[in-house]
Chains A and B, each alone.
Chain A
Amino acid sequence: MRVKRRNLLPYVLAAILVWLGLLLPAEPHAQVILEQKQIDAIKRHGPWPPVFEEDPSNRVSGSALAVEFGRKLFLDPSLSRDGDVACVTCHLPENGWSDGRNTSIGISQLDRNSQSLYNVRNNRWYGLDGRTDSLWAHSIGPMLDEREMGTSPEAIASALAQHAEYSRMYEQVYGEPPDVSDPQTVMVNAAKAIAAFQETIVSWRTPFDEFRDALADGDMESAKKYPQDAQRGAEIFFGKGNCSLCHSGPMFTNGEFGDAGMRYFIRPGEVDTGRHGGIEKLRASPFNLSGKFNDDPEQASDWATRQVALHPKTFGEFKIPTLRELTQTAPYMHDGSLATLEDVVRHYSEIDEERLHADGENILRPLNLSEQEIADLVAFLESLSSF
């Protein structure tokens, strides 16, 4: 039988396509065990690092002179009441800019764990209770706290005015020497320089970031290099664990607060009120973004301060922390009561539902993870650190 030439063409083309298909690499997702929905969620946790944006509430944000002035003040204990406590006392670079203690020690013993300063500029709220709404305002708190540095606006203004180098740097940054007759402004300006320095503390790229970017680029050959245990951990983190609901975005936090079922009591008869007390302190502070020290001419940056709600459920809530560089910042939780990442994962795996707020997060339930799943989730969390 004679077959017309034009009828052969589809068969030839099909054969060529099949042959080409054999030469092409396998299905791109074959080497990555995650589902597309989880891959999409992972993509939303980057890219890293974020683009630097100046803080509109701090007119010296991003100024190199302010960064250097702030760095010196950050390291200097002479600004404290007794001359032996500086910012760096509780925020050590070698401890991931925290201090490695369960709860910190300033002039005296404190009640909470020191928070890492990595990527601190990217927060909406500062402090475990969110008592401040800017990095510069939060830098004032430890200076004035009797248990931390125990100093005063007058003492700070006087110290800066009498210190030749600090007085010169202050004038370079602010255009005039420290005015001891206006100590509050001098203290705020010192805090804004310290904030400018802290804005430069940014964590490095991590194995997770390489994985995330490879997925975003469709580069499955690179993506499959991400360890299998970390991938299994990611399945839990972005799946049944629901961890990514709170630990979302490139910072691995939504910047808000939650009740993680930790203890309320600091000591017998004394409770840490957490976010509830933080909102009360925020509203009472003359240094919040609705006040006169906000340098933002449009005052748009104070929307959250004006509109934050003092719900009853905020009692005992604490800041949802970033998960970046976790391996450097043990111990964990607001009271530093969990020593290792494995302890943290076990805490969520066995969380005490009776302890949680009745009007809190409904989806927080014991995960009942197997030993293998715990190890996998820890492997994933470790991949969020650069070393």
Chain B
Amino acid sequence: MNTLTKVTLASFALLIIPPVSANAMCGNGLAMTAESETTYEVSMDAGEQEISTGNPLSVDVAICSNDDVAVERFKLDATMPAHGHGMNYVPEIEERGKNQYSASGLFLHMPGKWRFEVSFSADGKTHRFYRDVDIE
């Protein structure tokens, strides 16, 4: 195989194999869904804790981007869309590293569908993500 053929095949391979997305590398937790088009990926991880009612919960959140951008004004909340309310507590947010956060004191006081919501600012825009979790 001559050099030209190798270069041609390598070029085809690059076309066939999709670029590694930020999502594939973003944390070990549950992937969160973007509310609108974004280049960012977000995951939330409750670790060993069971996401259930009756106990304060902590989650780690990772925000990933192919660009070297530090996000700002990170927020996390949890709501019950069908019930029209959220938690009775305000989670405490701690920045654990670049675009890495932990939120503690999340208290889900009712069984049903809870929506975890994350928002942050970057690139002059507000980015919003969510993840639904059914709790018995």
Taking beta carbons and an 8 Å cutoff, which residues of A are in contact with B? 40-41, 44, 244-246, 248-249, 254-257, 303-304, 306-309, 311, 313-314, 359-363
**CB-CB nearest in chain A for B106:** A307
Interface residues in B41-57 by Cβ distance below 8 A to A read: 53-54, 56
Give residues in B with beta carbon < 8 Å to A: 53-54, 56, 82-85, 87-92, 104-105, 107, 109-112, 136
CA distance A302 to B116 in the complex (A): 24
- Specify which chain B residues have a CB less than 8 angstroms from the CB of A309 in the assembled complex: 87-90
In the complex the two chains form, what is the Cα distance from A245 to B84 in whole Å? 14
Q: Ordered nearest first, which 3 A-B pairs have the shortest CB separation?
A: A362-B84, A307-B105, A307-B89
Q: Are A359 and B85 in contact (CB under 8 A)?
A: yes
Tell which of A248, A256, A303 touches B56, judged by Cβ atoms closer than 8 Å. Answer: A303
- A363 & B111 in contact (Cβ 8 Å cutoff): no
Pick from A245, A249, A362: contact of B54, CB below 8 A.
A249
Q: Complex: how many Å from CA A363 to CA B105?
A: 25
Name B92's contact: one of A307, A308, A362 (CB within 8 Å).
A307
A313–B136 CA distance with the chains assembled, in angstroms: 25
A44 to B136, CA, bound (A): 9
Across the interface, do B91 and A307 meet the contact criterion of CB distance under 8 Å?
yes
Closest Cβ neighbor of B108 among chain A residues: A254
* Cα–Cα distance between A308 and B110 once the two chains are bound (Å): 16
Residues of A within 8 A of B85 (CB): 313, 359-362
A363 in contact with B83 given A245-B110, A256-B109, A311-B88 (CB within 8 Å): yes
A255 to B83, CA, bound (A): 18
Structural contact, A304 and B110, CB atoms closer than 8 A? no
The residues of B that contact A246 with a CB separation of less than 8 Å are 110
**Are A363 and B82 interface neighbours, CB within 8 A?**
yes
How far, in Å, is B112 (CB) from chain A's closest CB? 7
Report A-chain residues with C-beta under 8 Å of the C-beta of B92: 306-307
Residue contact B110 to A307, C-beta cutoff 8 Å: no
Rounded to whole Å, the gap between the CB of B57 and the closest CB of chain A is: 11
Task: Give which listed residue, A304, A307, A311, A361, contacts B84 with CB less than 8 A.
Answer: A361
B72 → chain A, closest Cβ, in Å? Answer: 23
Given known contacts A248-B53, A362-B83, what 16 new A-B pairs fall within 8 Å (CB)?
A: A44-B136, A245-B110, A245-B111, A245-B112, A248-B111, A254-B109, A303-B56, A306-B105, A307-B91, A308-B89, A309-B89, A309-B90, A311-B88, A313-B85, A314-B88, A363-B83
B81 to chain A, nearest CB (A): 9
Query: In whole Å, how far is A263's beta carbon from the nearest beta carbon of chain B?
Result: 22
Taken together as a complex, chains A and B put the C-alpha atoms of A255 and B85 apart, in Å, by 16
Contact between chains at B88 and A257 (CB < 8 Å): yes
Cross-interface CB contact of A256 among B88, B90, B105, B111, cutoff 8 Å:
B88
Kindly report which residue of chain A lies nearest to residue B89, judged by CB atoms: A307
Complex Cα distance, B87 from A219, in Å, reads 38
A-B contact pairs, 19 of them (CB 8 A): A244-B111, A248-B53, A248-B54, A256-B109, A257-B88, A303-B56, A303-B105, A304-B89, A307-B89, A307-B107, A308-B89, A309-B87, A309-B88, A359-B84, A359-B85, A361-B84, A362-B83, A362-B84, A363-B82
Q: Are B82 and A362 in touch, CB under 8 angstroms?
A: yes
Q: Which of A254, A257, A311, A359 contacts B53 (CB 8 A)?
A: A254
Chain A hits for B111, CB < 8 A:
244-245, 248
- With A361-B83, A362-B82 as contacts: A254 and B110 at CB distance below 8 Å: yes
Known: A256-B88, A303-B56, A363-B83. Contact between A248 and B110, CB under 8 A? yes
Which residues of chain A have C-beta atoms less than 8 A from B89's C-beta? 304, 307-309
Bound complex: CA of A248 vs CA of B54, how far in Å?
9
Chain A hits for B53, CB < 8 A? 248-249, 254
Closest residue on chain B to residue A311 by CB atoms: B88
| B107 nearest in chain A by CB position | A304
Q: Report whether A360 and B107 are in contact in the complex, using a CB–CB cutoff of 8 Å.
A: no
Residues of chain A within 8 A of B87, CB atoms compared: 309
> Quick one: which of B89, B92, B110 has the most chain A CB within 10 A?
B110
Q: Hey, which chain A residues are within 8 Å of B56, CB to CB? A: 303-304
Name the CB-closest residue of B to A257: B88
List residues of chain A with CB within 8 A of the CB of B104: 303
Bound CA–CA A314/B105 (angstroms): 19
Q: Chain A contacts of B54 at CB under 8 A?
A: 248-249, 254-255
